[in-house]
Homo-oligomer: A and B are copies of this chain.
Amino acid sequence: MKRTYQVAILLFDYVDALDFAGPYEVFTMSVFSEGDVRKLFMNQLALKDKPFQVFTVSKEGESITAHNGLKVIPDYSFKNCPAFDVLLVPGGPIKAMKNVMEDQQIIGWIGAQPHALIASVCTGSFFLGKAGLLDGKDATTNQSALSLFGRTFEKVNVVTGRRYIDTGSVVTSAGITAGISMTLSLVERLYGKEMRDRTIQILELE
């Protein structure tokens, strides 16, 4: 049987919509073979036959309101969330950053996933930093938040001009659409270039 990965996407109020929807799409539209592409579009591909099984999770499991108003209902709360292999942490504007940084439950939860590959998009890297996951590591964030990132986390090696930085168990990416680039790189790392190229074609990425 082929190896599959459980992917949890963290949601919270003011999260940026594309920060999570981009990686969501890359993970959920990746398939094992060319034959599976047709099955995917025909709604004939069972979840268990897909490389990534993706769900959303928030602290309480209640509906959240993203930046600019989009309302999303998470699949799980921290309490009933199943085990996962990958945790995707999106970011958002200052209200998202303040709320999450000051929420010890969320930061503690992110930091308490030692077995997961943890990947952030945009200002989501601030939450990884706050959880102590980036100390002594290279990391990046939204280009407009880079200097604040450096001032906030003195133990982090802030890297500029890169769309994403993969340190192994922790991966950070730059602003918004860089999350798509990063997730594609994870598809390649976990399954190889062929799956990555197929996903790019399915998404009709330029």
Seen from chain A, the residues whose Cβ lies within 8 Å of a Cβ on chain B are 14, 16-18, 21-22, 24-25, 28-29, 37-38, 40-43, 54-56, 63, 67-75, 93-95, 142-145, 163, 174-178, 181, 202-206
Query: Which of B22, B54, B73, B144 interacts with A63 by CB under 8 Å?
Result: B73
Taken together, the copies of this chain in the complex come to 2
Minimum distance in angstroms from A184 CB to a CB of chain B? 11
Query: Which of B24, B74, B204, B206 interacts with A17 by CB under 8 Å?
Result: B24
Minimum distance in angstroms from A60 CB to a CB of chain B? 15
Minimum distance in angstroms from A92 CB to a CB of chain B? 9
Cβ A70 vs Cβ B56 within 8 A:
yes
CA distance A67 to B42 in the complex (A): 11
Assuming the A-B contacts A54-B68, A143-B204, A203-B18, are A93 and B163 also in contact, with contact meaning beta carbons closer than 8 angstroms in the complex? no
